[in-house]
Amino acid sequence: MAEHARHRPFSVRRIPGFTAIASLCFVLLYAPIITLVIYSFNDGESVALWEGFSWRWYESAWDNIQVQEATVRSLVIATLASGIATVVATMAAIGTTRTGAFPGRLAIYAIINQPLMVPEIVTAVALLIVFAMIKVATGYSGLAYLVAAHAAFCVPFAYLPIRARLEGMDLAYETAAADLYATPWRTFRHVTLPLMAPGIVAGAMLAFVVSLDDVVITEFVKSAGQDTLPTYMLGQLRRAVTPEVNAISTALLAVTVLLVSAFFVLSRQRR
């Protein structure tokens, strides 16, 4: 037995202070969020002074026309943008995993993931300039600009889980389908698509959350009166800060946590 103990494999858990450091990290990460959540239920006007429990800021946010409009706008943009990004990402993932090696595949991989590498502020400024030119030329100033911008930076977030799923999927299934009289389209429809579906759903949810959260690009691209929930909140912070912002944040947090948990469940699903 003692012999056994001496030969235990190395484990980071036995490094002195491991537990303390790990706990501290979690506290630093989550203490601010917990504070935010707690004060969203504050009965008073302050975000720092506790005056008892109430739902008043949730009610106030719920009744606030601007919040309502920003929420609907955020959901519309996130739905459209993640939808477009998922379709594009699915096609890109198939093109980069289900074909033989072709010259420039690495370059294509880099281009698809470009929004992850280029600083967001650079993309934001670039879009601002290009969209301004288009606005002048066409006179159109609707939501399409925001949808297009969000769809663009959502692509890599949708692409990565879909590609991971496809790479883990044996080509033998598609070969077997072709052997069993399935044309390339029916092979895709009856074998590839159902097998990659968990990856597609995971990619779509990740894209949705990323779009819902975005501030920088939205702030630059939006026209007047096109606030999304995050940019509306940013605007509010410039004036008096009330626990209403906490309430909206908490609601947003709840939605995000739900979606991200679903993402992990789906992306861990193995067949």
Partner 1 sequence: MQQQVSEGRVLIDSGKNSNDASLMIEAIGVSKIFGSGDSMITALDAVSIGIREGEFFTLLGPSGCGKTTLLRMIAGFEHPSSGAILLDGSDISELPPYKRPVNTVFQSYALFPHLTVAQNIAFGLQMLDRPKAEIAETVDRMLSMVKMEAMKDRLTSQISGGQQQRVALARALAPQPKVLLLDEPLSALDLKLRKEMQIELKRLQHETGITFVFVTHDQEEALTMSDRIAVMSEGHVLQVGSPHDIYERPANRFVAGFIGETNTLTAEVMSSTTDRISLRLGEGLELDAELPSGMTPKERVTLVVRPEHLRLSFGTTGSSLPGTVSNVVYLGTDTHYHVRLDSGDELVARVQNSSASDLQFGIGEAVAVAFEPSTVRVLRD
Binding site for partner 1 (CB under 8 A): 170, 172-173, 175-183, 186, 190-191, 194-195, 271
Name which of 31 and 180 has its Cβ closer to partner 1. 180
Name which of 133 and 186 has its Cβ closer to partner 1. 186
Q: Which helix (H) or strand (E) holds 171?
A: none
In sequence order, what DSSP letters do the residues of 156-177 get, joined into one string?
Answer: HHHHHHHHHHHHTS-THHHHHH
Q: How far is the CB of 102 from partner 1 (least distance, A)?
A: 16
Find out whether 206 and 197 touch, Cβ atoms under 8 Å.
no
Length of the chain: 271
Q: Which residues contact 30 (CB under 8 A, 6 or more apart)?
A: none
Name which of 84 and 202 has its Cβ closer to partner 1. 202
Name which of 196 and 205 has its Cβ closer to partner 1. 196
Q: Work out the angle between the directed axes of helices 243-268 and 229-237 (0-180°, nearest 10).
A: 150
**In terms of Cα–Cα distance, which of 175, 185, 184, 161 is closest to 93?**
161
Name which of 90 and 249 has its Cβ closer to partner 1. 90
Q: How far is the CB of 192 from partner 1 (least distance, A)?
A: 11
Name which of 191 and 205 has its Cβ closer to partner 1. 191
Q: How far is the CB of 177 from partner 1 (least distance, A)?
A: 7
Q: How far is the CB of 94 from partner 1 (least distance, A)?
A: 17
Q: How far is the CB of 266 from partner 1 (least distance, A)?
A: 14
Q: How far is the CB of 183 from partner 1 (least distance, A)?
A: 6
Q: Which residues contact 169 (CB under 8 A, 6 or more apart)?
A: 192, 195, 196
Q: Which residues contact 124 (CB under 8 A, 6 or more apart)?
A: 216, 217, 219, 220, 221
Eight-state DSSP code of residue 17: T
